[in-house]
Amino acid sequence: MFETLHKATLDKIFVLMAEYAADPRSEKIDLGVGVYKDETGNTPIMSAVRKAEARIHENARTKTYVGVSGNRGFCNAIVDLVLADSVDRSRVRTAQGPGGTGALWILIQLLNRAKPGARVMISDPSWPNHWPMMELAGLTPEHYPYFDPKTRAVDFDAMLATLDTLGPDDIVLLHACCHNPTGANLTEAQWDQVAASLARTGAFPLLDLAYLGFGDGLEADAYAARKLASSVPEMMIAFSGSKNFGLYRERAGCAIAIARDEAGADIVGSQMSNVIRASFSQPPDHGAEIIRVILEDPALRAEWEAELAQMRERMKRLRVKLAEAIRKQSNATDYDFIAEHSGMFSLLGLERDVVERLKTEDGVYMINDSRINVAGIPEDRVDALASHLLAATRQ
Ligand code: PMP
């Protein structure tokens, strides 16, 4: 049986994580892995999460199945959080997925049922899992222009020009905020233009929302989702609770579909359940239940929002500090974009050999496309990191 198979390559991030772990240098810096870290390098359990877990532990009376579409309280709270009153709820259906990836998987399975083999436009570059996920689902991925490596900003004219050529048979995957890997994002005015383009062409938006609250705040980061929901007749959103609730391993995600009307929504909802039943039958409950408890309790919710704000502010501060340190040392503004980007990542636009040199000579680890996780910037060694970056790019 297995003789027909080749060895599959692992996502490069897992290889890098192993290399970092094996590096004996004490001054090594991990800007690679895509998880939030505090100043001690730990990915903390949020205090609201600990309290919600204690409450669940105290009150839970059963571990029986929760249902094919998952924890309904969780899904409803996520729709409130993401969409607020931007869309009539009779048109919305949800299902819980195992993480944001699981939510995305449910949605693209459904899209491939609706339009087998349809073209899915993906930003260039994008989260490395997007392309293979589309292929595995049977869809046809293609890139639209997004990041300009010269300005390290979004090449919005090129992006919009491509979106304008699409039609009702096309799907467009958009990062709702905190673009991964680039950190370069659309302004609200640019989202308005994207919404107008999609409404005009009929292309179908699929939003990946993995970092709500990591960019400019819960409301600001929901702008794209709400704007599109109020502008187009049909769309989908894959929400992840991994980063903003720090629940990575608990796999809490929510698949949201918006249909033209209630009858259409019922069909989409039934199809989501059907996909889930044949895929993994039911999602895991623990992470979703934690999020439900937090969002439904005003005190826990306030505590979570405050902690999320602290994480966001810390990442912003690290961005500004690194950009300032580089400016001070080089007298040039080349790296100011780091402070202008938002979310957890920035794509530095370095050549592969420079990235390799930073790793081998200085113990500075980043993904080989030069994506850095800003939460990994050591606050007390920002100057050292700045000089490593400058030295490596000068060689
Ligand atoms: N989309 C993007 C853009 C991501 O960066 C991630 C996490 N790396 C995900 C989706 C999925 O997150 P998870 O499955 O861990 O919830």
The residue whose CA is least distant from atom 7 of ligand 1 is 210
Of ligand 1's atoms, which has the minimum distance to the CA of residue 101? 14
Active site residue 210: yes
Query: To 5 degrees, how large is the angle CA 83–CA 309–CA 240?
Result: 45
Who contacts 255 (Cβ-Cβ below 8 Å, separation ≥6)? 94, 95, 96, 97, 103, 104, 106, 107, 236, 237, 238, 239, 272
* Tens-place pLDDT, residues 182-193: 999 999 999 999
- Mean pLDDT, rounded, for 307-325: 98
Q: Would you call the peptide bond into 205 cis, given omega within 30 degrees of 0 as the criterion?
A: no
Q: Is this prediction's pTM over 0.95?
A: yes
Q: Is the fold of 9-45+309-394 the same as that of 65-296? A: no
Ligand 1 cavity residues, CB under 6 Å: 34, 99-101, 127, 175, 180, 208, 210, 240, 242, 248, 253
Q: Which CATH number fits domain 65-296: 3.40.640.10, 3.20.20.70, 1.10.1200.10, 3.40.50.620?
A: 3.40.640.10
* Tens-place pLDDT, residues 56-89: 999 999 999 999 999 999 999 999 999 999 999 9
Domain residues of the chain, as ranges? 9-45+309-394, 65-296
Active site residue 127: yes
Number of neighbours of residue 378 by Cβ within 10 angstroms: 16
> Nearest 10 degrees: CA dihedral of 19, 389, 122, 239?
70
Of 300, 48, 340, 10, give the one whose Cα is nearest residue 185.
Answer: 340
**ipTM, interface predicted TM-score of the complex:** 0.99
The class level of CATH for 9-45+309-394 reads alpha beta
Query: Which of 33, 101, 254 to mutate for ligand 1's pocket (most ligand atoms within 8 Å of CB)?
Result: 101
* Tens-place pLDDT, residues 38-64: 999 999 999 999 999 999 999 999 999
Active site residue 266: no
Token match 């994580």: residue? 17
